[in-house]
Amino acid sequence: MKYRQIGLTKEKVSALGFGCMRLPTLDRKPSSGEVDEPETIRMLRYAIDNGVNYIDTAYTYHNGKSEEVIGRTLQDGYREKVLLTTKMPIWLVEKSSDFDRFLHEQLSRLKTDSLDIYLLHNLKKETYHHLLKLGIFSWAEKAIDKGLFRYFGFSCHEPFSIFKDFIDSYDRWSITQIQYNYMNEDVQAGTKGLKYAAEKEIGVVIMEPLLGGTLANPHPEILSLLNQANPQRSPVDWALQWLWNKPEISTVLSGMNSFEQVQQNINSANHSGANSLRSEELDTISKVQSKYSSMNPIPCTKCGYCMPCPNQVDIPRNFELFNTAMVFNQVNLNRNIYQNIFPEEMHASSCIQCGICEEKCPQNIPIRDWLIKIEKALGRKD
């Protein structure tokens, strides 16, 4: 296994991390509460025995069962072999005493006296201000002093501007977790966020390296491009190696739900390295990115000329969510992002059909018509 340093912590973390949001289940439904515990134990312990030392879970994964199963899996000496990470469900926090309540409940579930890393889960602008009022930072520093966890950070799905504000607002962040893959360089924190956090010497953990699994089973035209470049390399390996090529990344989480996936991903990690991809390999990924972009039903180049919208609609982000939903057949996933993560005031539904954006669009996109279609596809059905 290859290892990297995670920010300023000086901890050596495996290039591959085990994400525990999609453990194998008895009913074969991803993220359900019916975790196949014997298979999970077999997979996780195999991964640890083969060098994986970063385990990531959260309060809500598998309806709260993920932490419990991980706690039992890490018995028999396995807890001491890993950096154990979980996340506080900050959207459930109502008062400052909830900080301790959730943490101690999670420690109990995980059958441990302390965590290595504790993250604020899915930090958003509005929840952040609420946490500040409740004194989140002073609480975290006291918890670290008590030995309840060693490093503090946050996971985030916000755009770069908000992500940067989070980074700049506190000088004791150790870790941040962001969604990132070769199709998400300009999505959420993106490449700018990755580099900015790394410049601040904050460890960067990557989630959704395969874009919810879609990059593992690419469009036939994309698969053809990859096979022409190297028929021996799987689409998963292409996606993971592209990430590991970046020295700013500390570890890449994979939500593995089969023993075969664990074996394959460990093998990929064993052959990874920063700045290890050849120029022709990077060119192949660039071709794939361009090909995927050409498949977008809305020909938006994200130039931003349509912005700002007088009614606060984030037009490029609406287009991006719709395009991704259509190209990658991710309607349900992107509908969830649209309804539960993307700020409602920026939704397509806020469009008042003024047409100012269309006058400025260099691609002559019928923006108003597309916004109606986006709300119909991704919005709530009343």
Please report the pLDDT score of residue 362 as a whole number.
80
| Cα–Cα distance for residue pair 100/140, rounded to 1 Å | 10
Indicate whether 323 pLDDT > 70.
Answer: yes
CA dist list (Å): 169 to 125, 149, 161, 199, 282: 12, 21, 12, 15, 35
Please report the pLDDT score of residue 152 as a whole number.
98
Indicate whether 291 pLDDT > 70.
Answer: yes
Please report the pLDDT score of residue 70 as a whole number.
98
Please report the pLDDT score of residue 251 as a whole number.
98
| Cα–Cα distance for residue pair 168/166, rounded to 1 Å | 6
Indicate whether 68 pLDDT > 70.
Answer: yes
Please state whether 122 falls in left (phi above 0), alpha (psi between -120 and 50) or beta.
left
Q: Is 236 helix (H, G, I), strand (E, B) or coil?
A: helix
For the chain, report the end-to-end CA distance as a whole number of angstroms: 50
Q: What pTM value is reported for the model?
A: 0.85
Indicate whether 30 pLDDT > 70.
Answer: no
Indicate whether 95 pLDDT > 70.
Answer: yes
Q: Which amino acid is at 242?
A: W
Q: What beta strand segments (E) does 173-315 contain?
A: 175-179, 203-207, 251-254
Q: Per-residue pLDDT tens for 182-194?
A: 999 988 899 999 9
| Cα–Cα distance for residue pair 296/35, rounded to 1 Å | 36
Please report the pLDDT score of residue 32 as a whole number.
64
Please report the pLDDT score of residue 214 as a whole number.
82
Please report the pLDDT score of residue 5 as a whole number.
95
Please state whether 275 falls in left (phi above 0), alpha (psi between -120 and 50) or beta.
left
Q: Is 121 helix (H, G, I), strand (E, B) or coil?
A: strand
Give the mean pLDDT of 295-299.
89
Q: Per-residue pLDDT tens for 217-275?
A: 888 899 999 999 999 999 999 999 999 999 999 999 999 999 999 999 999 999 999 99
Give the mean pLDDT of 333-350.
91
Q: Which domains does the chain have, with CATH numbers?
A: 3-283 (3.20.20.100), 315-378 (no CATH)
Q: Any idea what DSSP says for residue 194?
A: H
Give the mean pLDDT of 155-181.
95
Please report the pLDDT score of residue 31 as a whole number.
64
| Cα–Cα distance for residue pair 310/352, rounded to 1 Å | 9
Pick from 128-142, 227-241, 356-370: least confident: 356-370
Sign of CA dihedral 218, 223, 227, 229: negative
Average pLDDT over the chain reads: 94
Pick from 35-49, 186-200, 297-311, 361-375: least confident: 297-311
Burial annotation 291-313 (CB, 10 A radius, 16+ → b, else e): ebeeebebebeeeeebeebeeeb
| Cα–Cα distance for residue pair 17/37, rounded to 1 Å | 19
Q: Any idea what DSSP says for residue 19?
A: E
Q: Which of 256, 276, 247 is nearest to 216 (CA)?
A: 256
- Considering only residues 23 and 303, tell me which one the structure prediction assigns the higher pLDDT: 23
